[in-house]
């Protein structure tokens, strides 16, 4: 009887708390319930109070207090929580003998910041002899200016969209006339964070660009937020949008939607290719779709989870069954661990399907860079370094982050200064790991991606849950000249910590360069083997890089003059020399002996 009371008490508390249940809360309270069973099983004589911060959205912080009484008599007392902002709360408690009970306390912080809280308790039966393992903690609170949130869902005509709609973007126009676009991470996520309660009322509509890109129209009225509760939850006139097709066709329109070549790490000799395809109008498919992937040399795919897969030369072919909405596939790859760090590689992807309504959107190129000493906070672009000057390209960027601290991050913010060569009005969020609020400053060209109240876990606790990302696409400006360069660097902020600066992506509008085999003989590295100095000879040399066998860049020189390089500080061994010229790039092996 006691065990049943201990197990269900936290769950009852969760269900009693409201109709919008966060699954993270369910997980947290379930773990608390299990830990309570463990405390009872230990038969420790005394009272223990466990304190947990519950993952929650909104303006208030919520703390959970579980009290285990392992004595033979009823215990009553009071515990006090000092919230770290000059205020405190007392909670009177009563716990029967050999039982467990719990309380939740909410607190509204006026200012954003990290607050050190402390908990003390006094028992009528034990005095101050109470165990509080988590008596001192740090809470991260959001500011009152962006703690508002709304639960807004959707109804879409056609069964296809109930499966694949992802990250519906909404425009929130406040009383001050400013419009903020916010998206969720999709797939059962209906929470929109980051609203300022002081700007109510809000008029909410579905973002027009998002509707157009998904072939949808909004058929219901806009939603009105008349105000906010104290905890930050929006007060709505209705809480759902009706959407329908903009155009309807009977023939399927299949397309390549998104791809990413990620975590190709040289020391691991492995990486992953992610491909996502869409049935844009959800029409019925009458046969399988065939996918062909032209692979880089020496890259070997794992065919285990692919249908009717085969490899001929450097082309992988497989099939995907009929689907509505989106369908995707992960393909693990192995590749040589001696590949130099920073080497760019590309996959050319194409799909074929009989009677496809629009075959023009069936091909794409997915590129990546070989990594070494992997940095989980980085930025990647899915295009080769050299862009065709005759084509206005659409670039897809992926910014990923990881919490390597020892405590969860409440908010993560990414700032990205968009290059002048890109058309800011075409920027569109494609995908994100969590709900994200996007703010674009057209004057400064800075884009902010705000992940509010995501409570990103620490990598030491759970590596997978410590990661997040955002993917967006943007088009080049029209008529860029040959030699136009595009560079992008992101800054990632975890709560109130200093920025983590990512790598810089680089692209240039330039025609492809190639060095024919007979021309490679015109470039020489000597002496080889070398001890002190090497010389690199050849016409039009613009850059020289030397990599060790692990792929680490050890020497780099940019020069169009005499190319003499000191190698006396290199250890004995084999190295790769990469020579970049006005004609293209070539490489050769170099032996160092001392």
Please give, one letter per residue, the 3-state secondary structure of 365-415: EEEEECECCCCCCEEEECCCCEECCCCCCEEEEEEEEECCCCCCECCEEEE
Nearest 5°: CA angle at 346, between 342 and 351?
A: 160
What per-residue string of b and e applies to 268-283 under the rule 16 or more CB within 10 Å gives b? eebbebebbbbbbbbb
CB 204 within 8 A of CB 190: no
| φ/ψ of residue 7, rounded to 5 | -70, -40
Those residues with Cβ within 8 angstroms of residue 317's Cβ, 6 or more apart along the chain or in another chain: 290, 291, 292, 293, 309, 310, 311
Distance CA 497, CA 407 (A): 12
- Residue pair 407/488 in contact by the 8 Å Cβ criterion: no
CA distance 92 to 79: 7
The whole-number pLDDT of residue 525 equals 83
Burial of 403 (0-12, 13-18, 19+ CB in 10 A): buried
**In this structure, CATH architecture of domain 2-141:** Sandwich (2.60)
Separation of CA 343 from chain center: 24
Do 506 and 387 contact (CB within 8 A), yes or no?
no
**How many whole angstroms separate alpha carbon 345 and alpha carbon 271?**
12
Question: What residue ranges in 232-356 does DSSP mark as E strands?
Answer: 234-236, 240-245, 254-265, 270-279, 289-294, 300-301, 307-312, 315-320, 325-334, 344-352
Cβ–Cβ < 8 Å for 470, 433: yes
Which pLDDT score is estimated for 321? 95
| pLDDT reported for residue 223 | 94
As assigned by CATH, the class of the 148-245 domain is mainly beta
Kindly report the CATH class assigned to 375-511: mainly beta
Q: Tokens representing 276?
A: 């996502």
pLDDT of residue 550: 62
The token duo for 568 is 């006396």
Query: Is 323 in a helix, a strand, or coil?
Result: coil
Per DSSP, the residues of 185-218 read --SS--EEEEE-GGG-SEEEEE-HHHHHHTTEEE
Decide whether 375-511 matches 517-592 in CATH topology: yes
Measure the CA–CA gap between 411 and 193, rounded to whole angstroms.
11
* Token reading at 369: 């860079």
Measured distance CA(382)–CA(366) in Å, rounded: 5
Beta-bridge partner residues of 467:
402
- Residues 559, 565, 570, 576: is their CA dihedral positive or negative? positive
Q: Is residue 451 a contact partner of residue 399, using CB atoms and an 8 Å limit?
A: no
What pLDDT, on the 0 to 100 scale, is given for residue 297? 92
- Angle in degrees, CA 45, 49, 52, rounded to 5: 145
CA distance 66 to 38: 13
- Rounded alpha-carbon distances, angstroms, from residue 103 to 11, 106, 116: 12, 10, 20
- Would you state the pLDDT for residue 345? 94
Write down the pLDDT at residue 548: 77
pLDDT at 165: 59
What pLDDT, on the 0 to 100 scale, is given for residue 11? 36
Tally DSSP H helices, then E strands, for the chain. 5, 43
Q: Where are the chain's structural domains?
A: 2-141, 148-245, 250-373, 375-511, 517-592
Give Dmax (Cα) for the chain. 92
Q: Please give the CATH topology (third level) of the domain spanning 250-373.
A: Immunoglobulin-like (2.60.40)
How many residues in total does the chain contain?
594
pLDDT the model gives residue 446: 95
The CATH code of domain 517-592 reads: 2.60.40.3080
pLDDT (tens place) for every residue of the chain, 594 residues total = 222 223 333 333 333 333 333 333 444 444 444 444 433 333 345 788 888 777 567 888 888 888 888 888 888 889 899 999 999 999 999 999 888 888 889 998 888 888 999 999 888 777 666 878 888 888 888 878 889 999 888 877 754 554 445 678 999 999 999 999 998 765 556 788 889 999 999 999 999 988 888 778 999 999 999 999 988 999 998 888 988 878 766 788 899 988 999 888 877 789 999 999 988 777 889 899 999 999 999 999 999 999 999 999 999 999 999 988 788 999 999 999 888 877 889 999 999 999 888 888 899 999 998 876 555 788 988 887 888 887 888 999 999 999 987 778 888 999 999 999 999 999 999 889 998 999 899 899 999 999 988 888 888 788 888 999 999 999 999 888 878 889 999 999 998 888 899 988 888 887 655 444 444 456 778 887 888 888 888 777 888 888 776 667 888 887 655 578 889 889 888 787 888 877 667 777 788 877
Nearest one of 124, 130, 134, 122 to 46, comparing CA atoms: 130
Question: Is residue 438 within 8 Å of 182, Cβ to Cβ?
Answer: yes
Q: Enter the tokens of residue 368.
A: 């990546």
Retrieve residue 108's tokens: 């509204």
As given in the structure block, the two tokens for residue 241 are: 């949008």
């Amino acid at each position: 009887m006691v065990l049943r009371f201990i197990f269900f008490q936290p769950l009852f508390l969760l269900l009693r708390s409201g109709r919008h249940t966060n699954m993270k809360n369910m997980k947290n309270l379930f773990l608390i319930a299990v830990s309570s069973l463990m405390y009872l099983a230990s038969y420790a004589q005394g009272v223990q109070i466990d304190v947990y911060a519950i993952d929650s959205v909104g303006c208030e912080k919520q703390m959970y207090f579980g009290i285990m009484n392992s004595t033979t008599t009823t215990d009553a007392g009071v515990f006090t929580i000092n919230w770290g902002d000059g205020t405190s709360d007392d909670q009177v408690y009563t716990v029967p003998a050999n039982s467990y009970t719990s309380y939740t306390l909410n607190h509204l912080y006026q200012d954003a910041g990290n607050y050190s809280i402390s908990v003390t308790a006094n028992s009528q039966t034990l005095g101050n002899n109470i165990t509080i393992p988590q008596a001192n903690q740090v809470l991260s609170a959001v500011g009152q200016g962006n703690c508002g949130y709304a639960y807004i869902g959707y109804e879409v005509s056609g069964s296809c969209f109930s499966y694949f709609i992802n990250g519906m973007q909404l425009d929130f126009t406040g009383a001050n006339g400013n419009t903020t676009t916010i998206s969720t991470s999709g797939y059962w996520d209906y929470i929109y964070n980051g609203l300022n309660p002081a700007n109510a009322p809000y008029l909410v509509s579905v973002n027009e660009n998002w509707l157009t890109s998904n072939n949808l129209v909004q058929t219901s009225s806009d939603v009105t937020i008349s105000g906010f509760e104290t905890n930050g939850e929006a007060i709505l006139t209705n809480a759902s949008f009706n959407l329908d097709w903009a155009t309807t066709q009977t023939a399927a329109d299949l397309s390549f939607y998104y791809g990413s070549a990620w975590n190709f790490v040289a020391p691991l000799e492995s990486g992953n290719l992610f491909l996502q395809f869409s049935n844009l109008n959800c029409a019925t498919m009458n046969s399988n779709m065939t996918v062909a992937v032209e692979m880089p040399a020496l890259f070997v795919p794992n065919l285990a989870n692919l249908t009717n897969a085969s490899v001929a030369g450097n082309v992988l072919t497989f099939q995907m069954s009929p689907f509505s909405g989106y369908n995707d596939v992960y393909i693990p790859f192995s590749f040589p661990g001696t590949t130099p760090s920073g080497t760019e590689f590309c996959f050319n992807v194409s799909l074929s399907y009989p009677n496809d309504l629009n075959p023009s959107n069936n091909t794409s190129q997915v590129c990546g860079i070989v990594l070494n000493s992997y940095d989980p906070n980085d930025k990647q672009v899915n295009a080769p370094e050299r862009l065709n000057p005759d084509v206005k390209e659409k670039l897809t960027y992926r910014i990923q982050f990881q919490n390597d601290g020892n405590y969860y991050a409440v908010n993560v913010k990414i700032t990205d200064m968009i290059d002048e060569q890109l058309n800011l009005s075409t920027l569109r969020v494609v995908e994100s790991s969590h709900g994200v609020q996007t703010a674009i400053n057209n004057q400064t060209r800075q884009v902010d991606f705000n992940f509010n109240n995501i409570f990103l876990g620490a990598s030491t606790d759970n590596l997978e849950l410590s990661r997040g990302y955002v993917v967006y696409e943007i088009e080049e400006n029209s008529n860029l000249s040959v030699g136009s360069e595009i560079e992008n660097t992101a800054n990632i902020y975890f709560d109130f910590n200093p920025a983590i600066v990512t790598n810089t992506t680089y692209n240039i509008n330039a025609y492809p360069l190639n060095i024919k085999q007979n021309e490679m003989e015109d470039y020489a590295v000597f002496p080889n083997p070398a001890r002190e100095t090497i010389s690199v000879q050849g016409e039009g040399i613009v850059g020289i890089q030397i990599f060790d066998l692990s792929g680490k860049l050890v020497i780099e020189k940019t020069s169009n003059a005499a190319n003499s390089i000191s190698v006396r500080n290199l250890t004995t061994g084999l190295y790769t020399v990469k020579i970049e010229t006005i004609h293209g790039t070539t490489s050769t092996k170099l032996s160092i002996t001392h």
